[in-house]
Amino acid sequence: MLSLRDIRYTPPSADKPLIEGLSFDVASGEYISVIGPNGSGKTTLALIIAGVIRPESGVIEYDGRNYSSGENLDFLRRDVGFLFQDPEDGILTTSVEREIAFGPENHGVPSEEIKLKIHDLAEEFNLREILNKPLDELSGGELERTAFAGAISSNPKILILDEPESYLDFEGKVRLYSEIDRQRRKGTSIIHITQCLRASARADRVISLGKMECESRKSVNIHGAGAELPVLQMEDISFAFDGGDVLSGVNFSMKRGQCVALLGPSGSGKTTFARLAVGLYQPKAGRIKRHGRPGLSFQFPARQLFAESVLDDVSFGPKSMGIPDPRSAALSALEQVGFPHSKFAVSPFALSEGEQRLAGLAGILATRPDFIFFDEPTAALDVHGQARFLEIVDNLVENGAAVAIITHDLEIAEKTCWRAFLFNGCGQAIEYRMDEIMSNADLRKSYGIGTLD
């Protein structure tokens, strides 16, 4: 069905090939997983297969037609569904309903069939309640589910999934793997890029780019009591978008030297809460007291990157805040997150999403925050990046900062946090100890969080 032979590709800013001599076939209905460290070319390979990037040499054939030179692309693209690593990159409309309808409409599907397709996919991906919601008000998980529904709405013969589990909660991941199984039964060929070795084990075949090492997450200190004075206090906080209340009467505090987890299903208000905490949003009601400099690492790292080079981007924060020698602060932060020296001068938009996340983390660390909210910080990071993040958290709290981690990864939360706030999707956030959460399966189930064993 799909054949790649001796593919070579060198990015415009690179002095050596990112992909070289790569050959493999994908049969009809085959499920292939692509793994590899950040920056190894996984997303680039997906874009080459989809006809978005043209390889500098090699041959790509689909159903016997050669499209590596740019010919026959319309024939290919008609049959390819693509879920981008950052789901925003594939969003083309303004609402969930219109996004699902976009593909079938462009394929000339009758309107009655499109309505039925929207209904079925909304049920499948738990999107029924947000069909008319503006896309810029969706959580990361809701946006991921919407983009996935849009990718399969035209019944593709080849489905490319670029790290689809990155922003999904427990229920979302269950739905993801269920839909992958359903697509396989239909005969769809699936190319699944992932950092999750457990997910890759579900595939018929695994293709590894670069050197993929298995590394367990090391335990770090679990930070509990902290100093006496809270660095952040949020009292009786309420917030609403035009579509309705998101938070209602939430109380929260954290002290220097603490690490707190914010857990709960997609759309329950975790990211909104973090933006309130650092001052990006203002509450409808309640009071916020900040005793120090805030920091926020965005869920989608590209949203906080803008400069011409990585070093310029990371230097911007300390420079604008009057921190002495901002360039040295930036270099130190890049070193702290393990960002490769060879890419300091590269545009942040030429990076993989994992590399963008490291650059975004460095930009926040360079401002030397007193308290920091990390929003899905390990999404799209390889095992080395995840291990480095745990070290960063450990160093921050040991040096007196307060840290809050928004995550769907209970292993990360368990290894770093003593306290957690569970957001229930009805506006409330309830405090528990992490050991209570991990020992109570019924509690986890009631909040829609869990682990895929």
The 10s digit of each residue's pLDDT in 141-163 is 888 889 999 999 999 999 999 99
Whether residue 251 has pLDDT greater than 50: yes
pLDDT confidence of residue 451: 62
Structural domains in the chain?
Answer: 2-208 (3.40.50.300), 230-446 (3.40.50.300)
How many CB atoms sit inside 10 A of residue 288's CB?
A: 16
**β-pairing, 80-83 with 158-162?**
parallel
Cα–Cα dist 183/157, whole Å? 9
Percent of the chain beyond pLDDT 90? 55
Mean pLDDT of the chain: 88
Percent of the chain beyond pLDDT 70? 95
Whether residue 21 has pLDDT greater than 90: yes
DSSP 18: S
Q: Model confidence over 277-318: pLDDT tens digits?
A: 999 999 999 999 999 999 999 888 888 899 999 999 999 999
Residues contacting 169, CB < 8 A, separation 6+: 141, 264, 265, 266, 408, 448, 449
In this structure, of 241-250, 388-397, 425-434, the range with the lowest mean pLDDT score is: 241-250
Residues contacting 165, CB < 8 A, separation 6+: 173, 176, 194, 196, 199
Q: How far is CA 36 from the centre of its chain?
A: 16
DSSP 134: B
In this structure, of 50-64, 87-101, 126-140, 438-452, the range with the lowest mean pLDDT score is: 438-452
> 169 pLDDT band (50/70/90 cuts)?
confident
Whether residue 236 has pLDDT greater than 50: yes
Mean pLDDT (whole number) for 432-444: 90
> 453 pLDDT band (50/70/90 cuts)?
low
Place of tokens 């769809």: 188
pLDDT confidence of residue 211: 66
Which pair of structure tokens corresponds to residue 144? 């991921």
pLDDT confidence of residue 452: 55
Q: Model confidence over 327-349: pLDDT tens digits?
A: 999 999 999 998 999 999 999 99
Whether residue 217 has pLDDT greater than 50: no
Residues contacting 56, CB < 8 A, separation 6+: 8, 9, 10
Whether residue 7 has pLDDT greater than 80: yes
Write down the H helix ranges in 130-242: 140-152, 170-186, 197-200
> 202 pLDDT band (50/70/90 cuts)?
confident
Q: First vs last Cα of the chain: how many Å apart?
A: 33
pLDDT confidence of residue 133: 85
pLDDT confidence of residue 216: 45
139, 142, 147, 149: CA torsion to nearest 10 = -170
